[in-house]
Amino acid sequence: MTRRSDAKERLLASTLELVSERSYAGVGVQELCEHAGVKKGSFYYFFKSKQDLMLEALAHQSRVIDQMLFAPALASDLPPLERIERLFHLTYEFQKPMTEKTERVRGCFFGNLALELSTQDESIRHCLDRIFRTAVASIRNTVEEAIKTGDLPEVDAQSTAEAILAYWEGVILLAKVRNQPELLKKLARGAKEIAITGKKDAAG
């Protein structure tokens, strides 16, 4: 890895850390450069602006969350509905070390930015919308498998997947405001129940 690419990695890591601890508006380019140990000139070699950096940080973190959380949670070694419950338990495991370090539940990087920036920055909102749609698609595959195996009747798989993702983000939000990561384990079962929603939608 060259010196330059290492600087870029460090900038992305600092963005994730500082923006998660505070907010997008609460962190400036100067501070990001100092935290990453990168000169401001190098920053502008890699990124046109803070927005540009944030878009790349989102794409990067999206790959991390997919590989570290969604892929193992939704892997086919468990029956489909249990995988959805596992997503909440693994999210707890994912939040726990960060919580121990700072004594604060950081929450979901995407959810945090969605609420801060959706009214202000259309490029970032579109990027987040794509990330959430990808997550919905992964959950939808699991819901469709549950229909095939007979664990669920003919539900509206898209609505069901959207409801499960919304619930996941909401539980993380509540865990953050309470500063109680354990809430992710306590409320994990609710996700399986939401899958039943689609059944009622289809019937009603």
Distance CA 171, CA 64 (A): 21
Amino acid present at 21: E
- In the list 102, 123, 134, 149, the residue contacting a second copy (rule: CB under 8 A) is 102
Three-class SS of residue 108?
Answer: coil
Q: Which is nearer to a second copy, 35 or 190 (CB)?
A: 190
Among 83, 132, 140, 146, binds a second copy (CB under 8 A): 132
Asked if residue 23 binds a second copy (CB under 8 A), the reply is yes
How many other CB atoms sit within 10 Å of the CB of residue 79? 13
Q: Does 170 help bind a second copy (rule: CB under 8 A)? A: yes
Rounded to a whole number, what is the largest CA-CA distance in the chain?
61
Interface residue with a second copy, options 14, 20, 61, 95 (CB under 8 A): 20
180 vs 149: CA distance, rounded Å = 35
| Interacting residues with a second copy between 103 and 122 (CB under 8 A) | 104-107, 111-112, 114-116, 118-120
Q: State the nearest-atom distance from the C-beta of 71 to a second copy, in Å.
A: 22
Nearest distance from C-beta of residue 141 to a second copy, angstroms = 19
Give the integer Cα–Cα distance in Å for 82 and 178. 26
Q: Tell me the C-alpha to C-alpha distance, in Å, between residue 98 and each of 12, 24, 44, 65, 105.
A: 17, 19, 29, 14, 7
3-state helix, strand, coil in the chain (%, to 5): 75, 0, 25
Residue in 31, 82, 154, 201 binding a second copy, rule: CB under 8 A: 201
Binding stretches for a second copy (CB under 8 A): 20-26, 102, 104-107, 111-112, 114-116, 118-120, 125, 128-129, 132, 159, 162-163, 165-171, 173-174, 176-179, 183, 186-187, 189-190, 192-194, 196-197, 200-201, 204
